[in-house]
Chain A
Amino acid sequence: MADQKIGAYICKGCGLEERLDMQQIEMTATRDGKAAVAHQHDMLCSKEGVEMIRNSIESDEITHTVIVACSRRAKVEAFNFSDVAVARANLREGVIWLRPDSDENRETTQEMADDYVRMACAEAKAMHKPSPSGEQDLNKHILVVGGGVSGMTVALEAAAAGYPVSIVEKSGALGGHVAELYKRTPQHAAPAGVANGRNVDLPGAEDTGIEEMIKRVEENADINVHLNSTVAKTSGAPGRFSVDIATESGSTTTENFGAIVQASGFKPYDANQLPEFGYDRSADVVTNLELEALAKAANGGPIKRPSDGKEVTSVAFVQCAGQRSDKEGHLPYCSGFCCTTSIKQALYFKEQNPDCDTTVLYSDLRTPGAAGEDFYRRGQQSEVIFTKGDVSEVVTNGELTVKFKDIILGEDTEMVADLVVLATGQVPNSGPDPYAVAPSDDDEEEGGDSAPEENTVTVSVESILNLDYRQGSDLPQLKYGFTDSHFICFPYETRRTGIYAAGPVRRPMDIKQAVDDATGAAMKAIQEVHNAAAGRAAHPRSGDLSFPSFRKEGCTQCKRCTVECPFGAIDEDEEGYPQYNESRCRRCGTCMGACPVRVISFENYSVETVNQQIKNCDIPDEFDEKPRILALACENDAYPALDQAAMSGEELTPWARVIPVRCLGSVNLSWVTDAMNSGYDGVVLMGCQKGDDYQCHFVRGSAMAAERMSKVGDTLSTLNLEPERVVIHEVAITDIKRAPQLINDMAKVVEEIGMSPFKF
């Protein structure tokens, strides 16, 4: 690397000059950091400061830039030099804002700053400028799987934005479940100024508008509809998906797509699993979806009951039927649409015949959406009786008797009805979960196995996407079979990049929410088409051009990378070597952390870049009484929490040296052992929450890290070191006080157990 020239640009602003010896910093950069060029500037992020750096880059004076200023999370626009490798030494948030300004602390603060400069220069030396692979071209064609209201919305939105769409629909018609509805719940609240009264004009049920929507889809030249078709095979990656579309008749066509949206919707819950409500014994016990068919048949006239065609004069709605319950075969979650649906259906009866007795038996009435509360009031206004009751049984002896406990009045009671409507929920229409645990785990796994004797809530486990991926045929799932995604930060990003889930397959929802959801997914698919073409990463490392590569000579074909990648980005070639798909990759580095022979690296992030940082920190000898604590902090939550701590004046031990990592999943065990070997006294790993309610931005990274680190104790004992010297913590972005405290706690531990004997 003879032609490598490092330029160190040192900022004196934001109080750095007052707190630190800038001459000393510059000397550290040139002497220890081997920077070819070092410049100081009063305010590096100003126009002049940035211009100074830009001029050096353009005159080929430098190939690597080290910005000695603030946190890498600050001033990102100013210090965005895409044509060189950039490393940042964080002296503002990382040093002076975390340390008290007093004479006795001056020395340790300066040491901290010098170390960060050395580390940044060393990191830069090991970095290369990332450049895209060019694996994909721009393919604006988007595939939508599912022709219900969600799928059609995606198609219409994408087509309107200029992206051609193909819809693959399994059935013979577009429209999905919405086409089965008589009416839909209202979308808008009462206009402003409508009093909170009892006889006012409130929103009522509306036409579904589905015919008009189907017509718009069919008439759109940019939308190609494949009815009676399924996806037989999906291979490739975002920007270059190759999809076999199979028709019922057996013919198959292959098309290429830039991105895919899975809008496979939901399956109605099977009410046969509710023998207590007599669904299997009486034709007059129906589900909410079946009532829509009755209402459609009546078409505004009196609704007749199925058994004998008698006009219904009393009807009971049983809310949460087979939902929100831990009982076997029931859905543990709330489907979110059934309360407003029952209000809508009660009004079918009331508005046709005000004397019809309609009772909604609920335990918690929830009416999401802008119109929800007003629609509830409309139901009350029309004298639908809402009874807070817990239904135990529907007796079907000639007439239907609903037995329930009135929760307000605290008594067991019953009512007789012509018709009983069960407000049953939504079961996601997902394919088999690639990570489902073996069938022995019988309680919560659904969609994972096809064992029919188990009372699971999923009916079918036919694959929907038939992905030709190393890690399974379909999108990974959450606990109840819904598509897994980071629901707080980027709900549409599934664990298969470039494939987006929209509508009730992602979580239970109503029409309005599905339309919003589908619009969001369409936008994400459009974004991904362009990201893939440009070789950029999707969330959360949006825009990152680096991607992993591996040194084939060193690879032992252990397959840990292909198994552990949370996004199924890595396949295996015929010889068993990993085969990277750049545009499927989210750049978390979990493969890099997994690799036991350390052959996986990114241009600007590798085992070496971090190792160099670890090694280029000065380790004072044992008698200096100055321990060194290495903190590897996840750049998504823990590192920003430390930045926040600096901004709010928290204090950090002067012995700490913090290195941001892309994800705790990218932490290679060798960093920890190398750090211990080079004389660090303690190591603190800070990642995101793992488990069912994970917050890891790369889904599995922190869980992987925790698993790997559980074995670190053995390594330490072979080195004759105390296991307390390495800890792993879950840190949230809000842990502003806690994040520095965790590192300070390690300083206390070191004080108690003594310094590491590995200082040379």
Chain B
Amino acid sequence: MSTNTAMIEKYRNSFLKEVEANVEEGDWVKMCMQCGVCSGSCPLGKDWAHPPQEIFMMIRAGKREEVLTSDSMWMCTSCYNCIVRCPRELPITHIMHGLAHYAKRLGLAPKNQPTMKFAQLFWDNLAKKGRVNELKLGISLYFMNGFGEGIKTSLKMKDIGLGMLKAKRMSVAEAFGGHAVKDLAGFQKMLKKAQELEDARLSQHG
């Protein structure tokens, strides 16, 4: 049984309860009073299929599938406008990220969602050496959507790249390994431990 079906089984009728137990800051969702200030404050709100107010209402209406497969919460840029303005002081930004994270964990997040892809690339890059390797991250972003587009973007950006090389803002050497944090082994141990703790938490809840 996949985690997803296990969750459906467990929370049967109450998606709100599922969100409370599994989503970061999810226990705030019930406190939304549907004033719509968050949706009105969101600079990208008009591009969201479901602005935050609607997402909260959908959670309470039990629209599990629609919420978790939505790409709306992935659109959040963490500008924090909604948090500042929410009269009920809901940590809306965190809830949006929490929902996105939960959707991804259940494998329900929309495939090829660019924010999600970027986040994964960033994480993978960072987890390797404990530092962000900007050259590699840049290149992997260029090629995020396929080889052809990658070449095109690289050519478009080549003058900037050469300029940065000239000004010694970028080093070609970084492409081969790149430098790491001082105690790389310690760093990776730390990540491993964190993962263990998270897994333990999930197995308890999920």
Contacts and interface: CB of A to CB of B under 8 A. Distances in A.
A386 B27 contact: no
Contact of B54 (A196, A377, A386, A409): A409
Interface string B1-34: 0000000000001001100000000011011111
Contacts of A409: 54, 57-58, 61, 63
A198 interface: yes
Given A408-B53, A408-B54, A198 B30 contact: yes
Contacts, number: 44
A27 B118 CA distance: 96
A381 interface: yes
Interface in A383-435: 383, 385-388, 406, 408-409, 413
A385 B34 contact: no
A381 B16 contact: no
A199 B58 contact: no
Contacts of B13: 357
Nearest to B27: A198
A361 to B, nearest CB: 12
A556 interface: no
A409 B32 CA distance: 15
A198 B28 contact: yes
B57 A406 contact: yes
B88 interface: yes
A686 B68 CA distance: 66
B64 interface: no
Interface string B25-51: 001101111100000000000000000
Contacts of A413: 61
Given A196-B88, A196-B89, A383-B16, A408 B31 contact: no
Contacts of A380: 30-33
Contacts of A357: 13
Interface string A365-392: 1000000000011001101011110000
B136 interface: no
A759 B153 CA distance: 95
B31 A385 contact: no
B188 to A, nearest CB: 37
A406 B61 CA distance: 9
B60 interface: yes
Given A408-B54, A409-B58, A198 B34 contact: no
B contact residues, range: 10 to 19
B16 A385 contact: yes
Contacts of A388: 34, 57
Nearest to B17: A383
A199 B89 contact: no
B34 A386 contact: yes
Interface string B70-99: 000000000000000000110000000000
Given A196-B88, A196-B89, A381 B57 contact: no
Contacts of B63: 409
Contact of A377 (B31, B53, B61): B31
Nearest to B16: A383
Residue of B27, B30, B88 with most chain A CB atoms under a 10 A cut-off: B30
B54 A381 contact: no
A363 to B, nearest CB: 11
Contacts of A386: 33-34, 60
Given A383-B16, A409-B54, A198 B31 contact: yes
Nearest to A408: B57
B61 A387 contact: yes
Contacts of B61: 387, 406, 409, 413
Contacts of A376: 33
Contacts of A365: 33
B31 A387 contact: no
Nearest to B29: A198
Nearest to B36: A408
Contacts of B16: 383, 385
B60 A381 contact: no
Nearest to A384: B30
A377 B32 CA distance: 9
A381 B30 contact: yes
A196 B57 CA distance: 20
Contacts of B34: 386, 388, 408
B53 to A, nearest CB: 7
Contacts of B57: 387-388, 406, 408-409
A377 B53 CA distance: 17
A357 B61 CA distance: 12
A199 B32 CA distance: 13
A334 B180 CA distance: 68
B68 to A, nearest CB: 16
Contacts of B88: 196, 377
The 10 closest A-B pairs by CB, nearest first: A408-B57, A196-B89, A198-B31, A380-B30, A385-B60, A380-B31, A198-B28, A383-B30, A388-B34, A198-B27
Given A380-B31, A380-B32, 16 more contacts: A196-B88, A196-B89, A198-B28, A357-B13, A365-B33, A376-B33, A377-B31, A383-B16, A385-B60, A387-B60, A408-B34, A408-B57, A409-B54, A409-B57, A409-B63, A413-B61
Interface of A: 196-199, 357, 365, 376-377, 380-381, 383, 385-388, 406, 408-409, 413
20 contacts: A196-B89, A197-B89, A198-B28, A377-B31, A380-B30, A380-B31, A380-B32, A385-B16, A386-B33, A386-B34, A388-B34, A388-B57, A406-B61, A408-B34, A408-B54, A408-B57, A409-B54, A409-B61, A409-B63, A413-B61
